[in-house]
Amino acid sequence: MGYYVHLHVAFNCDRNEAVAEVAREHLQWSEGLTRESQWYLQELSQREGKNFGPKGGLLLWGLVGNATDVEQFVEELRPFWADILGERRPGLPLSHHRVVVLYEEEQTEAANAYQIGWDDPYRVDRKLEIRHFGPLPFAWNQM
């Protein structure tokens, strides 16, 4: 029996090129990361163009993984999250934005979420926080 996991990542992003550049930088050090983290960086590194929305776009990515360790995925990408939320490059999310990772593990019939962002986005000595929420009151595979 497989162990399937729905995994969804979203954050504010109007244009993909700046995020793609950061993803390419992190791909250089991706050896040893889980396959999902490598796939994520690879996919983002190839994106171009605008993400549409009347007040701004969202960068969305997802997959159905097999035996995906979501906590490890989120933690091992910590340097990537810090770079996209911390650098002042045009096109990257602003420092007060968050990354949201939604997931549902097989047969749990409940989604969970990670929220990734700065504890205080305006302080010089800020720390990247990864907070877990769940189980949430919805699911993708609930019957």
Q: Greater confidence, 132 or 108?
A: 132
Q: Which amino acid is at 42?
A: Q
Beta bridge partners of 15: 50
Helix axes 35-45, 17-27, angle to 10 degrees: 140
> So what's the pLDDT on residue 91?
87
Joined together, the tokens standing for residue 68 give 């995906």
Contact 83, 94 (CB under 8 A): no
In eight-state DSSP terms, residue 81 is H
DSSP 67: S
* Model confidence at 138: pLDDT above 70: yes
Query: Predicted confidence band at 143 (pLDDT cuts at 50, 70, 90)?
Result: low
Express each pLDDT in 25-58 by its tens digit.
999 998 999 999 999 999 999 999 999 889 889 9
Burial 90-127 (b: 16+ CB within 10 A, else e): ebbbebebbbbbbbbbeeeeebbbbebbbeeeeeeebe
Section 70-88 average pLDDT: 95
Q: Quick one: which of 5, 69, 83 has its CA closest to 33? A: 69
Summarised one tens digit per residue, pLDDT across range 89-102 is 888 999 999 999 99
Amino acid identity of residue 112, one-letter, is: N
Provide the whole-model pTM. Answer: 0.94
Quickly count: other Cβ atoms within 10 Å of residue 11's Cβ.
Answer: 21
